Amino acid sequence: MNEVIDLSLGQVGATLALVAVAAAVALWERTDLEGEIAVAVARSFIQLTAIGYVITAIFATDSLLWVVLLLAVMVGFGALTARGRATRVPRPMGPLLLALAGAATVTLGLVLVLGVFPLEARYLVPVGGMVIGNAMTAAAVALNRLGDEVSDSAGRIEATLALGATATEAVRPIVRRSLRSGMIPLIDSTKTTGLIFFPGTMVGMLLAGASPTEAVRLQLVLLYVLLGAVALATLLAVLLSRRAFFTAQHQLRELPPRS
């Protein structure tokens, strides 16, 4: 029989003891991360509590319009967050918005067409959040690598352009490495799933009383969905951002210094 775990605020608060351990380690080793830890804990509590009420209201109405609006807000905040990691990429906001929105639209649309999930808020909101979050992380890593490598290789790129290469040809090796940087973390975690760690969705289902078989099947679906979303988001972000490094005459623009 399935049994949902009902946690009180006191039980949640008790786990702050582990946060205290993290803060103590930061203080002991003088990493200057204790402030970041405190901010992260406070923000996570406020943000998750707020989104809990929002999701409860959306589930109650089961309105697809509210689902779309919530996912659009997630895309916007995700793009803003990723932009902070892409400081050496000219005008990254547009490519990031298109990359996250495209990844979410294509992957969610595909699983709906295939009948994996029904067209209901209860499924679209959590899966959409996972897709956008993972796509954001991958796109941020890829653009960070792209900006750094283009900046550090400016001399070689300009020499390649002087020999008659197009902008696309001059940065092709850098684009490939940037794509790998964005995709490898999720690929590696997917390869080690079940051997080194159990993913959060599988753990959550097991704690909620689902059978191991049900938990494994859902986790496999989500892993494959995330792989597709990350690949698409990384590709769009890198290819769209690549153009911003060059003028219409295939000349390398002046890039901002490393922050």
Q: Taking a C-beta distance cutoff of 8 angstroms, is the pair 62, 101 a contact? A: no
> Quick one: pLDDT at residue 3?
59
Whole-number pLDDT of residue 207: 82
Q: In angstroms, rounded to a whole number, what is the distance separating the alpha carbons of residues 83 and 90?
A: 10
- Pick the range with the lowest mean pLDDT from 28-32, 86-90, 225-229, 247-251: 247-251
Structure tokens at 233: 């988001």
pLDDT at 258: 63
SS3 49: helix
Structure tokens at 29: 């080793």
Biggest CA–CA distance in the chain, Å, is 71
User: If pLDDT is split at 50, 70 and 90, which confidence band does 132 have?
Assistant: very high
Side chain identity, residue 194:
G
Q: pTM of the entire structure?
A: 0.86
- Cα distances from 34 to residues 15, 17, 46, 110, 123, in angstroms, run 17, 14, 19, 43, 36
* pLDDT of 1: 44
Q: Quickly state the pLDDT bin for 226 (edges 50, 70, 90).
A: very high
List Cβ<8 Å contacts ≥24 apart for 183-188: 183/138, 183/142, 183/230, 183/231, 183/234, 185/137, 185/138, 185/141, 186/134, 186/138, 186/226, 186/227, 186/230, 187/227
**Mean pLDDT estimate for the chain:** 90
Q: What is the pLDDT of residues 75-127, one digit of tens each?
A: 999 999 999 988 889 999 999 999 999 999 999 999 999 999 999 999 999 99
Sorted by where each begins, the domain ranges of the chain are: 1-61, 63-245
